[in-house]
A and B are shown apart, each in its own frame.
Chain A
Amino acid sequence: MKGLWKIANWEITRNLTNKQFIIGLLLTPVLIGVFSGIPILLERLNQPSLSTYYVVDHLGELASLQALLPENISLEAHQDSASIADIVRDTNSSGYFTLDQAFISTGQIDVVYNDRSMETLSTIRGSLTALLQQIRLASSDISVNQLTFVTAPARVREVALDEELEPQTMHMIVALVFTVLVFFLILTSGTMLMQSALQEKRDRMAEVVLSSVRSVQLMQGKILGHFLLGLMQLVFWIAIGLPIARYFWDFSVTEALAAVNVPIILFFGLGGYLLFSALFVGLGATMEDLQSAGNSQSLVIMLPALSFLFMGPVMTNPDGAIAIFASIFPFTSPAIMMMRSGLTVVPLWQTLSSAALLLLTAWVIMLLASKIFRIGMLMYGKNASFQEVTKWLRYKES
């Protein structure tokens, strides 16, 4: 037990004094901020600019069309359809079109554009449709009231049968944030673990360390160390992220905390960590370096990414068959179960069977990993083949 903590302690101090780790720790929130901030910023920068369209108006409807348009699109009347193209070019305006009798009878109109802003064009299209309806309506017997009545959309209210089924935005957001955060941590810690095993082999330290502790202790010490490191990162990021998030969005921390499904996140976060960490540390022991990972090894590396495949379908239909499968299948259940718990009320039998299956799988993987680790850590100079690894699994324990 003492050896376990010493190994864990070594892994932690080694990383905390490692520049790369510190940079990663500080940079990750910055990167997340940049990547989530840039789209918002771009959206802001992309505020509708002023655009001008020249119109040859044979109908005298320019004023009513302008009234239908937002302020940033202005219309200029022009008499001469021959020179209008040049004017648009000279003034660098957005485009031109002609309102004439043919438009009213056929509904067809050519909007010639100079700058191809999708947003402006679609606004123009909408306004022209409205204008067309107004003009056609005026020449028919139908009153405006009648038209509005006929074309009004259905007003659908979504009411949950039981109150608890009703999704609460706060729950959803908190669950999603936690899912992404915890899963991101599982992935980074897993990768770091794999590298830690690889490094121990590369630096030829495994054998010396194994003359002081049992290989199981070395493996578990690494897993424990990186778990604590992960927790430190999580606390650090939340400590930084929370004030920032509160600055931008006004919400109550206590309410957000109340929205966290603590048992689910704790259990599946931990279970997921155990599963993937054992997988990755065992994998690291079979490899010489990352670049030369074989096919079967690459497949294992890809395994956690499965969860991302399911995130979309689960989001749109959190009670569907795919969601249920993904929240029970042990290699996706940690992330998906955390996510579902925020989106819907997961039936107890699903939670329990998912939890049991996750525990069982994590336990089995741990056992296999420790056998692989024991022999793999002492093998130098090459990647182990799949056949070799299966052979190791049958060797006698010391």
Chain B
Amino acid sequence: MDGLQVQGVHKVYGSTAVVDNVSFQAPQGRILGVLGPNGAGKTTIIRMIMGITAPDQGDIYFTDHGRKTKGVPFSTIGYLPEERGLYKEAKVMSILLFLSGLKDVPKTQARERAMHWLRKFELEDYAYKKVEQLSKGMAQKVQFIASILHEPKFIVLDEPFSGLDPVSQDLFKEEIRALANSGATVLLSSHQMNIVEALCDEIFLIHRGKEVVQGNLESIKERYGNFRVDLLSSTAREAVLATDMVQNVEQLAPQRYRYTLKDDIRPLEFVQALPTGLDIRELTITRPSLHDIFVNVAQGGANHEGSLEDRQLGNYA
């Protein structure tokens, strides 16, 4: 399989295992969302993939066109870190040329591509302006361009949407999807669950350095999210409970109830089981959002010894 393979990676700082025996895959052409609460170990995993820090145990492989290398070669990586910026006193174009130069992109080609992308983000007028003159959103676009200018095979985006307005968010989403479609492996870390839900093909959820769940988004929802039925009705409660398909009831408003269905109950099954004369004014059946699953899992795993937030060494690794 082309793409990234993380095998049994383990990293200890002091006496805390920041990343505890983690394995996952990011297949080529897909977008993998790495999720987890603050201090879960996401940045450490990303830095180990980047080769910025070394795992104590475990290996990281990258396969491109069937050729497998240990670690991801620098020239194939595009990286947008969470802590990011630009040289303030330098011009936009010279920064882009410098960074793509580090990735061995010839200067003329880099300049062409840079102009292409700047035009795409409506920044062509700023190409030869100093970074100081950019707004925060503009700077973030330049950072994004810098991370993909060399057409990387493997792209790591750490919180790429934070601080962006909705229009720019959509633009970023579109471009990230296009990058994956053109054959890049994308690893995306974000707290914005709605975006992750809309964008990612695969999910890897980590908490306190340990894997909580991973896999295809749909299969995760299947595994962790029973169907939810929201009903607006004055009389339905008894009849619904009588179907014996409900795991849990929650009153949202005087006549509005939310029923969580039992594990194997399909929506149609449930609807067919309802008596025909029932007075129903509104009915929606949904899967719980990734957000709910995330919160659930994160809280469920909270009884872990020692909090990572108390780590003494700060946010450097």
Contact = CB atoms under 8 A, between A and B. Distances in A.
Q: A and B bound? A: yes
Contacts of B102: 3, 6-7, 209, 212-213
B53 interface: yes
Contacts of A209: 99, 102
A381 B53 CA distance: 19
B220 to A, nearest CB: 29
Contacts of B74: 211-213
Interface stretch (A200-208, A319-327, A330-338): A200-208
A236 interface: no
Interface residues of B, number: 35
Interface stretch (A109-117, A297-305, A372-380): A372-380
A197 to B, nearest CB: 13
B54 A397 contact: yes
A204 B98 contact: no
Nearest to B72: A211
A319 B53 CA distance: 50
A398 interface: yes
Given A203-B88, A204-B84, A211-B77, A388 B313 contact: yes
B18 to A, nearest CB: 13
A210 interface: yes
Q: Report the interface size class on chain A.
A: 20 to 34
A396 B50 contact: no
Contacts of A205: 85-87
Interface string B55-85: 0100000000000000000100101110111
A52 interface: no
A14 interface: yes
Contact of A396 (B51, B56, B104, B143): B56
A157 interface: no
A378 B79 contact: no
Nearest to B100: A212
A284 to B, nearest CB: 15
Interface in B23-64: 47, 50-54, 56
Contacts of B47: 378
Contacts of A397: 54
Contacts of A2: 104
A199 B52 contact: no
Contacts of A380: 83, 314-316
Contacts of A207: 52, 79, 81, 83-84
Contacts of B89: 14, 18
Nearest to A210: B52
Contact of A375 (B85, B99, B316): B316
A214 B23 CA distance: 25
Contacts of A208: 79-81, 84, 99, 143, 146-147
A346 B314 CA distance: 50
A18 B89 CA distance: 8
A155 interface: no
Contacts of B317: 375, 378
Contacts of B98: 6, 10
Contacts of A14: 87, 89-90
A213 B98 CA distance: 12
A204 B314 contact: no
B103 to A, nearest CB: 6
A369 B94 CA distance: 29
Interface string A367-398: 00000000110111110000010010000111
A186 to B, nearest CB: 24
A319 B49 CA distance: 58
11 contacts: A14-B89, A205-B87, A208-B99, A212-B103, A215-B52, A378-B47, A379-B314, A381-B314, A391-B313, A396-B56, A398-B54
Interface of A: 2-3, 6-7, 10, 13-14, 18, 199, 202-205, 207-215, 375-376, 378-382, 388, 391, 396-398
The 8 closest A-B CB pairs, nearest first, are: A204-B85, A379-B316, A398-B54, A212-B102, A211-B79, A207-B81, A203-B85, A378-B316
Given A376-B316, A379-B315, 8 more contacts: A7-B102, A14-B87, A204-B85, A205-B86, A208-B84, A211-B79, A378-B47, A398-B52
